[in-house]
Amino acid sequence: MAGVGQLHLGTPFLPSASIRGRSSGGGGSRRLTTRIQAKIREIFMPALSSTMTEGKIVSWVRAEGDKLSKGESVVVVESDKADMDVETFYEGYLAAIMVEEGDVAAVGSAIALLAETEDEIPLAKSQASSSSSPAASPPAAETPVPPSPSETAPEAVSSPPPSPKSSQAAVSSTHPASESGRRIVATPYAKKLAKDLKVELGSVAGSGPMGRIVAKDVEAAAAVAAAAAPVSSVPPKSISDSAAVKAPASPAIQLGTVVPFTTMQGAVSKNMVESLSVPTFRVGYTITTDALDSLYKKIKSKGVTMTALLAKATALALTKHPVVNSSCRDGKSFTYNSSINIAVAVAIDGGLITPVLQDADKVDIYSLSRKWKELVDKARAKQLQPHEYNNGTFTLSNLGMFGVDRFDAILPPGTGAIMAVGASQPTVVATKDGRIGVKSQMQVNVTADHRVIYGADLAAFLQTLAKIIEDPKELTL
Amino acid sequence: MQASLSLSLSLPPAAPRSDPAPTVFRPSALRFCGLRREALGLRPLRPAGSTWVFPSPARTPSRKTVAAVSGNGSPSKGFDYDLVIIGAGVGGHGAALHAVEKGLKTAIIEGDIVGGTCVNRGCVPSKALLAVSGRMRELQNEHHLKALGLQVSSPGYDRQGVADHANNLASKIRNNLTNSLKALGVDILTGVGTIAGTQKVKYGKVGFPDTEITAKDIIIATGSVPFVPNGIEVDGKTVFTSDHALKLEWVPEWIAIVGSGYIGLEFSDVYSALGSEVTFVEALDQLMPGFDPEIGKLAQRVLINPRKIDYHTGVFAKKITPAKDGKPVLIELIDAKTKEPKDTLEVDAALIATGRAPFTKGLGLENINIVTQRGFVPVNERMQVIDASGNLIPHLYCIGDANGKMMLAHAASAQGISVVEQIGGRDNVLNHLSIPAACFTHPEISMVGMTEPQAREKAQQEGFEVSVAKTSFKANTKALAENEGEGLAKLIYRPDTGEILGVHILGMHAADLIHEASNAIALGTRVQDIKFAVHAHPTLSEVLDELFKSAKVNTGVSPSSVNEPVTV
């Protein structure tokens, strides 16, 4: 799970307030961001809401060759929320329209060129025709883009209030694979989820009636794709794995092409390389889970999840081994963290995020389960606030649900340890009295920072954890 | 603008459908928004005395009426009845009540059950289902509940209980209707009515109309049935129309709704709230073709995109095969323009919401030389029936869905009242542009008068200016208190005269809010006058208050509207 929890996953997680703050810093709200290229400026697709990733050109208010003055409406853009008039901040001539009416462009990509003088229009036109298609332009994630709607825009009245749930764009009405002869049957919600989670439907096996793809198939596919990332133990390799998360075995991928990292993949890469500077080691343990399983069965109906049970057990074990919950940031000292915050890796939107169960040792199991559900929902809806995903002190990564029996994880920089949890499986075991029996067992594997946590620390911690899980009455106290 | 204009003119918005129904719909008559060609030319204010605009005769409570008219009058000389109405739906009922009030001896013939489509298979039971879906939606919206500080754990529903609620509501309203007719002394004649000749009606069992009665005037109010395009096999279980859907015998996991008009949209609201996933199949290039384009766009953002709904537009459902032998419902889609095969859907159920066809077979119209136009009975603006040679047939009227002017229950009732007025010697032409329409989704959509493209076309033809004003529910205190700030009200008006051409609302309780606008249109109230009317604060009605106030009219207050001093 490797440190992804500390990432800012691109714009969806940026609170809109901070975006506004940045734009207003320039004094006067800029409506169109332009990149200066000699005296020809590019007009970009603005981000009209915090969830907007692409915009559709509803209409060009002005035509090519028109002279524009500052603050004039140039184009009407349809975002996921509303139609808005977009104004120019610069004077000049609308030299070339690069994205036609009805077409869609990614936020930050150029949609038109603005020439400062009339003489430069031909130059701009040739520039526009030589540039690649607008959708392929790199998203300008670093460019401050003001989302504030124009006060004078007549359409602004009609815009619905920002509702985080209505962020999905319209779903394409065509079956993606109908032409290749193999039809894909997926329900409307499954299609929406696939688009949101960037899952290629062609690679998903349907479990619904008549083999159709339903929502949970897409969710499972996204989870598998996300979980695929940390399995590999060599950090550089896991980067390429996480790049594959986006479209696992997608038939749409053109082999042999070079694909630049997205903002998120870049951040993953940076974090992974950074993790190489921490000397880590691993200790594994086999834990019998029969008692935990039966406890789970008993309280499942009360909304308790296995994730919450594992987090709770881990937190309780950590109370007895505070060094395992510590972290070393500067290589000269380390901190015994004051609270036990269990980060749990989950798949989200083609990547990973680690929502944090704060004070997992103190919160009761029922509240913890509710909190977990809330966090997962928020993560899916891209509403997690930074404090909800980046203050973990110990990370859990569970691939057990996929039948993985053992794996190890990369330590997220800034934390002391991460535990990889495998599947609990019925195993033939020899008991102490010399008999042979069947018990459910799972393997856990902790990766830790050896600068502060030593082998004996982990061994003692795992022993405590095993005791708690094998006699789990403490968990429900 | 032009494209969308011709769309909304050529397609009857009241009859939402995805497939062309060449045999059913009259292109010449526009329904729903009241935009018949005739209506377009109709001036809202006629010279007083010659024509009444809209006589708003408040439907008198039945008991009071009984006391006032003491029974059902006595017939004119030589006739069994003054008025016989064929069909006891909402249209026939409205006409009968008004007729008794006017002292006419009235009979109503019904071959099925009192209440017609609206009460038994339409507006009424669907409102019960929508009441449930609205609450489910609220309870499921954790974000919304949390914003209000509410905690609700795992909301659920009992399908049979929901179905019973719809059924009980229908029978309650049906009983109310029947009782009000009986209380007034209207004779309810059971059987299928047939026109036997001028001023003559026969009724009895199907095929055996053995009883003949005479009446001075006759109103045909036989309504409509769901229209099912060719190629669609309805089995009533997995492929069905609104008739079956309203019984809510099951809630499919995935349902395709063919037609994205009112009926389809309301059912998508019900089914998606109850957990179904929905796929719309729409023949036109955009969903909700009957709405003002701006409202339609917002409706798509609010009612379609955030829900578990997807859609195929610009396609016909050429063939729909019900589920059998373990196979799902198969829907073959072809391109609406090229007729090329486009796609095949495999779903659990299909609801056919492609509009409604008039129910006029077996009426014996051929006996008096009437040729229906794709099933609709041709009428003039006074609902008088026109025969094959273009002449008016005396003493015969047709109201409601059967004439297809505006397929709405309350339009039928208003037409019936208009006819009774004429029978009573008071000429009356109903202004269909003042008839509101509503779609009871969550939030609701309502409208009266013209859409913006329609208004702009008329403005171009007649050479006047059109202005548009808009207000948002976001600015309304009551809406924000309810945490339901999503919505828009739109006013289309003439800036030179202040005439209201159309009002469209999407937002909480839009269906209840529209009447201020529809009454203003009916009574000819101008924007510059109504803006002085006071609205209670804080109420949703202030959305319209703001709307009227934001309109910019280039003329002063109408002289006639100056208020007389009132004692305080």
Put simply, the chain A residues between 31 and 90 with a CB less than 8 A from any chain B CB are: 80-83
- Residue, of B213 and A177, whose pLDDT is higher: B213
Q: Provide, as residue numbers in chain B, all residues whose Cβ is less than 8 Å from the Cβ of A377.
A: 142
Q: How far apart are CA A371 and CA A385, in angstroms?
A: 14
For residue B141, which residues of chain A lie inside 8 Å, CB to CB?
165
Alpha-carbon distance B327 to nearest alpha carbon in chain A (angstroms): 8
Residues of A in contact with B277 (CB under 8 A): 187-189
pLDDT at residue A261 tops 60? yes
Single-letter code of the amino acid located at B120: N
User: At residue B372, does pLDDT exceed 80?
Assistant: yes
- The answer for residues whose C-beta is within 8 angstroms of residue B262's C-beta and 6 or more apart is B13, B14, B16, B290, B437, B439
Q: Are B506 and B445 in contact (CB under 8 A)?
A: yes
Which residue from B minimizes the CA distance to A191?
B310
Which one of B305, B488, B506 makes the best mutation probe of the A interface by having the most chain A beta carbons within 10 Å? B305
CB-based contact (8 Å) between B302 and chain A? yes
User: What whole-number distance in Å separates Cα of residue B415 and Cα of residue B54?
Assistant: 10
CA A16, chain centre distance (Å):
17
Higher pLDDT among residues B185 and A58, named by residue: B185
Report whether B407 belongs to an annotated binding site: yes
- Provide, as residue numbers in chain A, all residues whose Cβ is less than 8 Å from the Cβ of B301: 81-82, 160, 166
| pLDDT exceeds 50 at position B367 | yes
Q: What is the pLDDT of residue B159?
A: 95
The answer to whether A166 contacts chain B (CB < 8 Å) is yes
Number of residues in chain A: 477
Whether B468 shows a pLDDT value over 80: the answer reads yes
pLDDT of residue A49: 67
Put simply, the answer to whether A166 touches B305 (Cβ < 8 Å) is yes
Q: Are A161 and B301 in contact (CB under 8 A)?
A: no
Q: Is B288 annotated as a binding residue?
A: no
Q: Has residue A411 got a pLDDT over 70?
A: yes
- Count Cβ atoms below 10 Å from residue B167 Cβ, excluding itself: 16
Distance CA B335, CA B341 (A): 6
Among B306, B348, B488, select the one facing A165 at the smallest CB separation.
B306
- Contact residues, B window 479-498, toward A, CB-based 8 Å cutoff: 485-488, 490
Say if residue B538 is preceded by a cis peptide, omega within 30 of 0.
Answer: yes
**pLDDT range class, residue A80, cuts 50, 70, 90:** low
Contact A81 B301 (CB under 8 A): yes
* Contact status of A102 with chain B (Cβ, < 8 Å): no
Q: Which of A152-156, A260-264, B261-265, B364-368 has the lowest mean pLDDT?
A: A152-156
Mean pLDDT calculated for residue range B53-66 = 42
Strand partners, A41: A36, A114
Q: In terms of Cα–Cα distance, which of B533, B545, B548, B550 is closest to B478? A: B545
Do B308 and A192 lie within an 8 Å CB cutoff? Answer: yes
Contact B486 A183 (CB under 8 A): no
Residues on chain A touching B472 (C-beta within 8 angstroms): 157-159
Candidate from A251-255, A398-402, A417-421, B23-27 with smallest mean pLDDT: B23-27
A97-106, B14-23, B172-181: which has the highest mean pLDDT? B172-181
More confident residue, A174 or B360: B360
Please name the member of A164, A188, A212 whose beta carbon is closest to the beta carbon of B308: A188
Q: Measure CB to CB from residue B277 to each of A82, A178, A189 and give the nearest one.
A: A189
Residue A53 has pLDDT above 80, yes or no: no
DSSP structural state of residue A474: G
Dihedral angle sign, alpha carbons of residues B544, B546, B549, B551: negative
Helix (H) or strand (E) holding A344, with range, is: strand A342-344
Distance from CA of A149 to the nearest CA of B (A): 15
- Does the pLDDT of residue B218 top 80, yes or no? yes
Number of C-beta neighbours around residue B18 at 10 A: 30
Mean pLDDT of B268-292: 94
A450 is catalytic: yes
> A168–B305: do the CB atoms touch at under 8 Å?
yes
Q: Is the pLDDT of residue A247 over 90?
A: no
Give B-chain residues touching A210 at CB under 8 angstroms.
Answer: 327-328, 346
B265 labelled as ligand-binding? yes
Instruction: Give pLDDT tens digits for B108-124.
Output: 999 889 999 999 999 99
Residues B553 and B525: their CA atoms lie apart, in Å, by 13
**Which pLDDT score, from 0 to 100, does residue B530 have?**
95
Contacts 24+ apart (CB under 8 A), B240-244: B240/B349, B240/B350, B240/B351, B240/B352, B241/B351, B241/B352, B241/B353, B242/B121, B242/B122, B242/B126, B242/B267, B242/B351, B242/B353, B243/B121
Are the Cβ atoms of B472 and A82 closer than 8 angstroms?
no
Confidence band, pLDDT 50/70/90 cuts, at residue B263: very high
- pLDDT of res. A15: 35
Please give the C-alpha separations between residue A260 and each of A136, A201, A225, A242, A273, in angstroms, as whole numbers.
Answer: 11, 23, 19, 13, 17
Taking an 8 Å cut-off on Cβ atoms, the answer to whether B305 and A208 are in contact is: no
Give Cα A408 distance to the centre of its chain. Answer: 21
Whether B253 sits inside 8 A of A187 (CB atoms) is yes
More confident residue, A342 or A207: A342
- CB B488 to CB A158 under 8 A? yes
d(CA B442, CA B383): 35
Predicted local confidence at residue B32, as pLDDT: 37
Quick: pLDDT tens for A369-407. Answer: 999 998 988 887 777 777 788 788 999 998 888 889 999
pLDDT value of residue A10: 32
Lowest-confidence region among A131-135, A386-390, B251-255, B508-512:
A131-135
Residues in CB range of A289: below 8 A, 6 or more apart = A424, A440, A441, A442, A469, A470
B278 near A CB under 8 A: yes
Distance from CA of B148 to the nearest CA of A (A): 15
Residue B41, marked binder? no
Q: What is the mean pLDDT of residues A103-122?
A: 83
Label residue B152 by pLDDT band (50, 70, 90). Answer: confident
For residue A7, CA distances in Å to A262, A266, A270, A344, B431 come to 13, 10, 10, 14, 63
Minimal Cβ distance to A170: which of B253, B294, B305: B305
d(Cα B387, Cα B370) in Å, to the nearest integer? 5
Average pLDDT score over residue span B488-517: 96
Check if B20 contacts A (Cβ < 8 Å). no
Does B415 score more than 50 pLDDT? yes
Please give the pLDDT value at position A179.
40
Question: What are the distances in angstroms from CA B129 to CA B125, B251, B410?
Answer: 7, 12, 20
Of B46 and A183, the structure prediction assigns the larger pLDDT to: A183
Q: Do B254 and A168 touch (CB under 8 A)?
A: no
Residues of chain B in contact with residue A214, where contact means CB-CB under 8 angstroms, are 253
What percent of chain A is modeled with pLDDT above 90? 23
pLDDT at A57: 85
| pLDDT of residue A167 exceeding 60 | no
Question: Measuring CA to CA, how many Å separate B440 from each of A276, A361, B131, B517?
Answer: 60, 49, 9, 18
On the CB side of B494, CA atoms within 13 Å amount to: 19
A165 part of contact set with chain B, CB < 8 Å: yes
Contacts of A209 in chain B (CB under 8 A): 253, 328, 348
Residue A51 banded pLDDT, cuts 50, 70, 90: low
Counted across chains A and B, CB pairs separated by less than 8 A come out at 83
The first and second tokens of residue A106, run together, are 């990614």
- Could you say which DSSP state residue B8 is in? H
